[in-house]
Amino acid sequence: MFEFDKSTIAIVVPKLPALGLRAASQADLDLLRKWKNEQRQFFFHQEEITEDQQKQWYESFIKRPYDLMLMTTYEQQVFGCLGIRWQEDHWDIYNIILGLQDFGSRGLMGQSFAALLAYAITLKQAPITLQVLKHNPAVAWYQKQRFGITEIHESHFSMKYQPNLKR
């Protein structure tokens, strides 16, 4: 993989130019923490995240070049976030959060997610996986995004992107 500055990532979704993704910055930390805390029952880490913990995460995050956190925007308004990171031989999806519920059920997160996956593949073509708690309503959404369940664990599913799956 080549080196790049992840802080400059900006992606416009071709089918919908008002929809975009941009690199998360330090200015987004309070919003990211708020959203994660509001929806923590759907994540593996369920304790409330403090301001200090969020700052510590960011300090280590910015040092990992292939750990991307992108903010989703529609008509310049931030409404969610998408995370993807390189782990040895595959991409791992994490912290997919629809922060503003008014933006739900419009296909915006799905289109943003597809743009994220396409971007990651341009960096390194490799499998894309995720882990999701069984009780998370996002399980069905991930299946709609062409992720199939590959392993069933006691509390969660392992899923893998299968681009040839029918929607």
- Write down the pTM of the prediction: 0.93
pLDDT value of residue 41? 87
DSSP 8-state code for residue 100 = S
- Across 88-116, average pLDDT: 95
Q: H or E segment at 29?
A: helix 29-38
pLDDT value of residue 62? 93
- Across 77-100, average pLDDT: 96
Partners of 79 in beta bridges: none
**Range from 1-5, 17-21, 22-26, 86-90 carrying the lowest mean pLDDT:** 1-5
Q: Residue 82 pLDDT more than 60?
A: yes
pLDDT value of residue 1? 47
14 alpha carbon, distance to own chain's centre: 19
Q: Please spell the DSSP secondary structure of 37-58, one letter per residue.
A: HHTGGGSS--SPPPHHHHHHHH
CA atoms within 13 A on the CB side of 14: 4
124 alpha carbon, distance to own chain's centre: 17
- Across 52-77, average pLDDT: 95
pLDDT value of residue 3? 62
In sign, the C-alpha dihedral spanning 96, 109, 166, 125 is: negative
* pLDDT level of residue 32 (50, 70, 90 thresholds): very high
Which domains, and CATH codes, for the chain? 6-161 (3.40.630.30)
**Separation between Cα atoms, residue 64 and residue 83, nearest integer Å:** 13
